Amino acid sequence: MAGIVAPKTDKKLPKYMKLAELQQFLRYLENDRHPFALRNEALFKLLATSGMRRSEIVELTWGQIDLNEKTVLIYGKGKKERLLPIHPMVIQPLSVYRDTLTENERYETEPVFYSKLKVALNVRSVHKLFKELLEKAGLPSNRFSLHHLRHTFATILLQQDTKVDLRTLQELLGHSSLATTSVYTHVDLEQKKKAIDSFLKPPNN
């Protein structure tokens, strides 16, 4: 069996939220009046606009965030560091959320996102929270997992008119290999439709 090479399996395209779905989710977060709504808005806006991994967001401490410079320092796989700009839409909710915490809770070694029991959120609890908020936002929670926010970030960046090159996306996502990032170069159905419609179409005079 040692000399037998296993057949290659087709890679599935990553699932992601459409831009309209993501905007619907973010609008719900902005208008929610739950006691932890501010934390939730800062948490999921940061995840959605940075491409951070689930493990990276729950391990985030205040010492990694610089609100003056609008940057966040991420410790990725293998403790590799990457410095990311914080999206403008995250600055205000993150700043206001920080102001609601005690001085001890804002200490640089303290976790950014607490649970109601005043302990750091973990991946499982954030995933459960994400599903609950999707339902409240009127979106199908069975279609998306927490990791799909990372796929959504990468896909939307590549679909925009001012397309991001793969090398920049690789740096943003913290991929060690460009081959890993290249999975996001898939063409969505709308782009395929435009391509088919343009086939044999007479040029404009």
- Which tokens in the block code for residue 138? 């009127």
Which residues partner with 75 through β-bridges? 81
Q: Is 147 among the residues known to form the active site?
A: yes
Catalytic residue among 18, 70, 131, 147: 147
Catalytic residue among 39, 45, 53, 54: 53
Q: Is 77 among the residues known to form the active site?
A: yes
- Distance of alpha carbon 53 from alpha carbon 76, whole angstroms: 8
Q: Is 150 among the residues known to form the active site?
A: yes
Question: Going edge to edge, which strands form the sheet with 81-85?
Answer: 65-66, 71-75, 81-85
Catalytic residue among 45, 54, 150, 151: 150
Catalytic residue among 15, 27, 34, 77: 77
Q: Is 184 among the residues known to form the active site?
A: yes
Q: Is 127 among the residues known to form the active site?
A: no
Q: Is 175 among the residues known to form the active site?
A: yes
**159, containing H or E segment:** helix 148-159
DSSP 82-151: EEEEPPHHHHHHHHHHHHTS-TTTTSTTSBSSB-TTSSB--HHHHHHHHHHHHHHTT--TTT--TTHHHH
Catalytic residues: 53, 77, 147, 150, 175, 184
